[in-house]
């Protein structure tokens, strides 16, 4: 919901930061992989209930997710880089709820499972539309900086990271947060499926 509003406002800061990293030995894909490796540490940190450490690596992961895109735009976006970025993003989003499940299975298992179930809905609707939109070369002015069609919704990256931050700061409230956010994710999925279907119905096939 807030991604299209925030991205243009943080882009200048990311561009300034990435100017320091624009060296031949540093590549956008390398930043993507490094950021993911840092983010993976959230899983054991959460399982051990080291919530402060988990919060740090979650935020670092998101920082590198912004820097890799900024460097890619500086050098030229590639399909391979876009694919790597989104694939690892979805894996990262899934491992955080799983970490909370491992931290307290009795309290968090069902709520965490509900959240992961909801993430499947948002992720599949997002990626399915992006694939078909690419086929028809649909333009998306709100997310022109993305390497593929970015279908928005009520729960996007900004809201998901806000959830993770709140859960790390208030781990005892994870189950409640997961139930609420999962419900919002299903609202996003339903609106994406409906709007995506209606958009594709209006696509005129070439003769």
Pull the structure tokens for residue 167.
């859960």
Q: CB count, 10 Å around CB of 25?
A: 6
Over the stretch 77-111, which tens digit does the pLDDT of each residue have? Answer: 888 988 899 999 999 999 999 999 999 999 999 99
pTM, to two decimals: 0.84
Mean pLDDT (the chain) is 86
Read off the pLDDT of each residue in 55-64 and give the average, rounded to a whole number.
96
Taking only the tens place, the pLDDT of each residue in 106-146 is 999 999 999 999 999 998 988 888 778 777 666 665 555 55
Q: Domains of the chain by range and CATH?
A: 3-201 (1.20.120.1760)
């Amino acid at each position: 919901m807030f991604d299209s509003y925030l991205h243009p406002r943080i882009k200048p800061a990311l561009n300034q930061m990435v100017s320091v990293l624009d060296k031949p030995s540093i590549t956008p894909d390398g930043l993507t992989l490094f950021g993911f490796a840092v983010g993976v540490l959230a899983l054991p940190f959460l399982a051990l209930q080291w919530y402060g450490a988990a919060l740090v690596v979650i935020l670092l992961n998101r920082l590198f997710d912004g820097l890799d895109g900024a460097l890619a735009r500086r050098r030229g976006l590639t399909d391979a880089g876009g694919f790597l970025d989104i694939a690892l993003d979805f894996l990262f989003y899934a491992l955080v709820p799983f970490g909370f499940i491992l931290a307290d299975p009795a309290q968090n298992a069902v709520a965490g499972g509900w959240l992961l179930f909801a993430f499947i809905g948002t992720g599949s609707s997002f990626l399915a539309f992006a694939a078909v939109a690419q086929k028809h070369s649909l333009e998306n002015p709100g997310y022109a900086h993305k390497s593929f069609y970015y279908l928005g919704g009520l729960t996007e990256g900004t809201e998901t990271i806000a959830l993770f931050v709140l859960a790390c700061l208030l781990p005892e409230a994870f189950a409640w947060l997961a139930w609420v956010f999962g419900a919002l994710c299903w609202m996003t999925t339903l609106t994406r499926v409906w709007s995506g279907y209606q958009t594709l119905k209006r696509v005129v096939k070439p003769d």
